């Protein structure tokens, strides 16, 4: 009788208990398990982002290289200034042993000291003719203590000869590019023994003296065809324009030298002489000083 009376209530309680259990289980799962979210896509790496590490490394390497170069230039500059100071305090000291060392005196930047002049290899060696007095040396009869050579010509004539700075370096270097000849208006008895004394490396191949010159209007004029009939392959370095008036297009003028210990004219000529050794005709360049820079075609 009771089951029938309360049967409806028991059935209603059973449904309520089942609904409560589901809600409780769902709440417990929400607490115990993390919330499910939709996974975010990985960020896209752009090309610029991939290149950033390489750019950083490149910048660092460039900075290190710049620092190393600056230190090298500073060290060379300090050495150069010290050498110039030493030369200014002691101008009587001997010249450097090589043209590369001597170039420090002409240097405009420290990097110039790293340059080296290499021997030229032209198809046909040209002839470089050099004057003697006031070009390579200066001689006088008056005795002086700074003379480099004492030359006894005879019992009554004694010459005291001073060498132009960098003379031996000049001869030694140009002999790699040219056949060297000395052509002087001085007498043989004076010039011949002097040339033998100066030519310590035995690079002078020909010697011409006053009796090989032409006497014109009070001047001894040199004739380059006596050395090389083909004038395209010969040039002369001389301090006297009257001496090369027969062949002005083959001349490379130089200032007369007497006693200046800081003179560097011989060194200044080296780059130009090196270039001339490769030309088919040296007159194509040497004549420019006469034609005011206008090129003149030659047949």
**Tens of pLDDT along 22-60?**
566 555 555 555 555 555 565 565 555 666 777 777 888
Task: Kindly tell me if the per-residue pLDDT of 108 is higher than 70.
Answer: no
Q: Given this model, what pLDDT does residue 102 score?
A: 47
DSSP 3-state percent helix, strand, coil across the chain (nearest 5) = 45, 15, 40
Confidence of residue 67 (pLDDT cuts 50, 70, 90): confident
For residue 257, pLDDT over 50 is answered with: yes
DSSP string covering 113-142, please? GG--PPPP--SS-EEEEE--BTTTEEEESS
Rounded CA gap, 40 and 34, in Å? 16
Rounded to 10°, the helix 265-276/167-174 angle is: 10
Sign, CA torsion 275/278/281/284: negative
- Which range is least confidently modeled, 42-56, 113-127, 224-238? 113-127
**pLDDT number for residue 29:** 54
Across the chain, what does the average pLDDT equal?
A: 78
* pLDDT exceeds cutoff 90 at 15: no
Give the integer Cα–Cα distance in Å for 163 and 198: 8
Least confident span in 24-38, 118-132, 141-155, 173-187: 24-38
Q: Which residue has the tokens 């290499």?
A: 118
Bigger pLDDT: 11 or 238? 238
Length of the chain: 299
Q: Which helix (H) or strand (E) holds 60?
A: helix 47-89
Beta strands in the chain (DSSP E): 126-130, 137-140, 149-152, 158-163, 178-183, 204-208, 214-216, 219-221, 234-238, 251-253
Cβ contacts of residue 133 below 8 Å, gap of 6+?
139, 184, 185, 186
**Are 129 and 234 contacting, i.e. CB atoms less than 8 angstroms apart?**
yes
Tell me the CATH class for 125-289: alpha beta
Q: Is the dihedral of CA 92, 93, 97, 101 positive or negative?
A: negative
- Does pLDDT of 276 surpass 90? yes
Q: Are 240 and 144 in contact (CB under 8 A)?
A: no
Domain boundaries of the chain, sorted by first residue = 125-289
Which residues participate in catalysis according to the annotation?
131, 133
> pLDDT over 70 for what percent of the chain?
64
Higher-confidence residue of 294 and 210: namely 210
Which of the four pLDDT bands, split at 50, 70 and 90, describes residue 61? confident
pLDDT of residue 233: 96
**Confidence at 94, pLDDT banded by 50, 70, 90:** very low
First to last CA, the chain: 149
Q: What pLDDT shows up at residue 129? A: 98
Query: pTM higher than 0.85, yes or no?
Result: no
Q: Hey, which of 12-16, 68-72, 115-119, 237-241 has the most confident mean pLDDT?
A: 237-241
pLDDT digit string, tens, across residues 73-83: 777 666 656 65
Closest CA to 269 of 122, 102, 79: 102
Q: What is the pLDDT of residues 188-208, one digit of tens each?
A: 999 999 999 999 999 999 999
């Amino acid at each position: 009788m009771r089951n029938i009376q309360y049967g409806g209530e028991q059935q209603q309680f059973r449904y309520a208990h089942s609904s409560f259990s589901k809600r409780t289980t769902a709440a417990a799962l929400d607490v115990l398990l993390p919330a499910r979210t939709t996974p975010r896509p990985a960020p896209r790496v752009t090309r610029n982002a991939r290149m950033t590490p390489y750019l950083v490394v490149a910048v660092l390497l460039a900075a290190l290289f710049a620092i190393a170069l600056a230190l090298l230039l500073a060290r060379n500059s300090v050495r150069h200034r010290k050498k110039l100071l030493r030369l200014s305090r002691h101008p009587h000291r001997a010249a450097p042993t090589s043209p590369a060392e001597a170039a420090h005196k002409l240097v405009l930047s420290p990097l110039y000291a790293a340059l080296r002049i290499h021997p030229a290899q032209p198809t046909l060696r040209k002839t470089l003719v050099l004057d003697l007095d006031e070009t390579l040396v200066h001689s006088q009869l008056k005795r002086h203590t700074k003379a480099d050579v004492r030359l006894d010509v005879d019992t009554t004539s004694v010459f005291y000869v001073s060498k132009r700075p960098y003379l031996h370096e000049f001869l030694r270097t140009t002999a790699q590019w040219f056949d060297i000849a000395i052509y002087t208006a001085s007498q043989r008895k004076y010039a011949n023994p002097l040339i033998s004394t100066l030519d310590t490396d035995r690079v002078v191949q020909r010697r011409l003296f006053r009796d090989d010159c032409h006497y014109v209007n009070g001047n001894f004029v040199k004739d380059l065809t006596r050395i090389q009939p083909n004038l395209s392959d010969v040039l002369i370095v001389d301090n006297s324009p009257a001496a090369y008036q027969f062949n002005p297009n083959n001349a490379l003028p130089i200032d007369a030298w007497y006693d200046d210990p800081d003179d560097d004219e011989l060194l200044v000529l080296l780059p130009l002489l090196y270039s001339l050794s490769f030309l088919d005709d040296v007159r194509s360049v040497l004549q420019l000083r006469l034609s005011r820079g206008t090129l003149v075609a030659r047949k």
